[in-house]
A and B are shown apart, each in its own frame.
Chain A
Amino acid sequence: MSQDHSLNPETMPQDPSKATMEGKHKHLGLWIFLGGETVLFACLFGTYLALRNSTAGGPSSQDLFGLELVFLMTILLLTSSLTSVYAIYHMKNNDFKKMQLWFGITALLGIAFLAFEIYEFAHYIHDYGFTFRSSAFGSAFYALVGFHGGHVAFGLGWLITLMVRNAKRGLSLYNAPKYNTFGLYWHFIDVVWVFIFTVVYLMGMVS
């Protein structure tokens, strides 16, 4: 079925991700899903803002955060968003190899981001004894940043599955929407990080 002519036409349309009904559904559906995700993160942000000074005698945000690491993580994730744009650009021009290449770079940047985040958490836990349970601030911090990290991890699993599954069969009208929805999701993760960077880290350094 994967060689179905209707899904692998001689000349691919300009934007194969939205050329089919299925693709249109997925595109719109993911946008709507991101609306729900926005509320999810808004609630976590609200909880964090309410609890960020409730350190219960434990370490506070000024004690913990170092902007160098967070700056590096921000650069990694923002760049990964840019590379996913390149990938989608090549998808729209039906250049499968370049798309896979740029998505590969996206995945590597995402993995690097996640590795730094794990390092960051381990650093807080081992050097400061700052955990999920040590204070309401700790709970709120790990919940918000951890939910974001979980989203990154899920996105990486999604992307790698897609890339491996389709590595040998090229772009079709069946898998193009899947790459497209991943791209939207990845941008969203990136936007959330911009807010985390501002609300958690920058505001945590000044107050």
Chain B
Amino acid sequence: MSTATTQKRGFGAVLWDYLTTVDHKKVGILYLIGGGFFFLLGGLEALIIRIQLITPENDFISAGLYNEMITMHGTTMIFLAATPLLFGLMNYVMPLQIGARDVAFPFLNSLGFWLFFSGGILLNLSWFTGAPDAGWTNYAPLSLQSPGHGVDFYVMGLQLSGAGTLMSGINFLVTIVTMRAPGMTYMRMPLFTWTTFVTSILTLFAFPALTVGLFLMMFDRMFGTAFFDVALGGNSVIWQHLFWIFGHPEVYILILPAFGIFSEIIPTFAKKRLFGYTAMVFATFMIAFLGFMVWAHHMFTVGLGPVANSIFAIATMAIAVPTGIKIFNWLLTLWGGSITINSAMLWTLAFIPSFTIGGMTGVMLGSAVADYQYHDTYFVVAHFHYVIVGGVVFAILAAMHYWWPKMFGRILHEGLGKLAFWTFFIGFHLTFFIQHFLGLMGMPRRYWVFLENQGLDTGNLISTIGAFFMTFGIIVFLINIVYTAMKGEKAPADPWDARTLEWSIASPPAHYNFKQMPLVRGLDPLWIEKSEGNGKITPAEPLDEIHMPNSSILPLIMTIGFFIASYGFIYQVDHKAWLIAVYGGMAIAIGSMLIRSLKDDHGHHITKEELEREAD
């Protein structure tokens, strides 16, 4: 099944192929499509927020709808856009970088995607009946008082997508530990693989806290328990703790893969080995470790007391050290390099100062005393958009340009790429830089309107204009995708003269990735072979038959079961007849688990003859 025959099949066959696929590359592409779709939704919500705030006391949308808009923007961007886009890239690229033919649990991989996607769909279906409106942090008791089913959709939607993300994390960990190609020792792994590994550790230990928090919220809202209900002895701060024990590592789940992406792009386009590789790996672990120690810096104003606040403040500022190590290592990789500036590199170079600004405001916010002034103002909004847009979104767009040829066999158009970059980059700073000052002047976040003549008018206008620039940039990027799909330049296996294993195989790769397992002889294995004049990787084994997993529709059916059950849980509060949906959905889900367990699935083999028939 070469790519040529794949393209000739009908739409139905392709659709069925994607619905049942367990191929990490196709699952990765599904993640990118799903995450991209939610990214556009979240962007639209952001634009509506900015239009509402373009003038003082605007009434473009109602106060209630505004609350729904900010809640859904935050929730969508974090859980349904940034995380899955990065998980899509990890899914596609990481196995190729370590010389593996798939992930350790291909079935689970597909299930993880469908759970994430159905969670996102469930959450967004709430728009038809009233979306969640208690902020993306969903603090109790506000979330308990929120009428209607909005918050219930939040709880069930995130529970589904969170379970999917956790599965992927476990999967990546096992894959990296057990499936590295011969010679691919830990300290020869590309930085993107390293950050995937560390991110997966964070996912593993952070997401269960969210799971518990969401369960408690679900029980309180749907079954009348008293976890956060002060009247019955409950404690609403528990939600804040559980949410941020998850929530703070989550921002490192987002930024570490971004760091990994830049650590791939910079050496490739500077034509230099990554400066301080060992320190980079160490810094990644430091950030991950400290990332678990700082959750209460989101809660400085709750009243935890001076001792707790001091400890968390110091731990927070300590993160600046490993992050600084990374920034300097990137700069020193660029130093004296033979630098090519293209779209991927532009996003990368723009990331360094933009993210550093976000990092510095982070240290400012980390000072517990000063935080009493900054807390819940636009200063915080400016800070986290500088790190998440300036870090994560820039990384995703850089990665798109960098790995697009590998994924789709065509190179994204450079001119359009640069246009998208410059408009988005200018728009980004227009939108968010001014928000630091709006916040310092006292503009609170999450407020529907602001008053005239309080020094906030011009700043908000500029910010909204910036948002339109960013929108334009994203539209250009979308046009670029369509243009490239139709007329884009065909990509060779190694269009960037790059260094890592994924560039040693065809673009896009065959579904078994590597015909023969590659032999890795050091860091940047492809570069080593090229500099020694071999040009391609030495195989580590003779050509032999390849064992591959079978496709399965069960992950999708299982997910549909959970989806129906979630809907039932939300509405059984109104009418007990909805319990039928709960039981029916669970029966479908558990039934498909049973089928999976009872029916043997040994996978299939690609014979030696088939492999020999396919040209390199």
Q: A: which residues have CB within 8 A of B? A: 1-2, 4, 7, 21, 24-25, 28-29, 32-33, 35-37, 39-40, 43-44, 46-47, 50-51, 54-56, 132-140, 143, 161-162, 165, 174, 178
Contacts and interface: CB of A to CB of B under 8 A. Distances in A.
Contact of A36 (B166, B233, B238): B166
Interface stretch (B207-215, B304-312, B463-471): B207-215
Q: Which of A37, A39, A40, A43 has the most CB of B within 10 A?
A: A43
B178 interface: yes
Q: Which of B220, B227, B241 has the most CB of A within 10 A?
A: B227
9 contacts: A24-B178, A28-B178, A29-B174, A36-B170, A54-B235, A56-B226, A139-B226, A140-B227, A143-B227
B208 A132 contact: no
Overall SS of chain A's interface: helix
Contacts of B9: none
Interface of B: 104-105, 166, 169-171, 173-174, 177-178, 204-209, 211-213, 215-216, 219-220, 223-227, 229, 231-235, 238, 241-242, 245, 594, 597-598, 600, 602
Contacts of B241: 46
A43 B212 contact: yes
Contacts of A40: 208-209, 211-212
Contacts of A33: 170
B178 A143 contact: no
Contacts of B232: 54, 56, 133-136, 139
Q: Which 7 A-B pairs have the closest CB atoms?
A: A54-B233, A136-B233, A139-B225, A40-B208, A43-B212, A39-B208, A136-B234
Contacts of A174: 600, 602
A21 B549 CA distance: 13
Contacts of A55: 233
A43 to B, nearest CB: 4
Q: Which of A21, A25, A165 has the most CB of B within 10 A?
A: A25
Given A51-B234, A165-B597, A35 B204 contact: yes
B237 to A, nearest CB: 9
B208 A36 contact: yes
Contact of A43 (B169, B204, B213): B213
A114 B204 CA distance: 29
B235 A50 contact: yes
A51 B233 contact: yes
Given A36-B205, A50-B238, A143 B219 contact: yes
A185 B206 CA distance: 20
Contacts of A29: 104-105, 170-171, 174
Nearest to A164: B598
Contact of B227 (A24, A39, A47, A178): A47
Contacts of A46: 238, 241
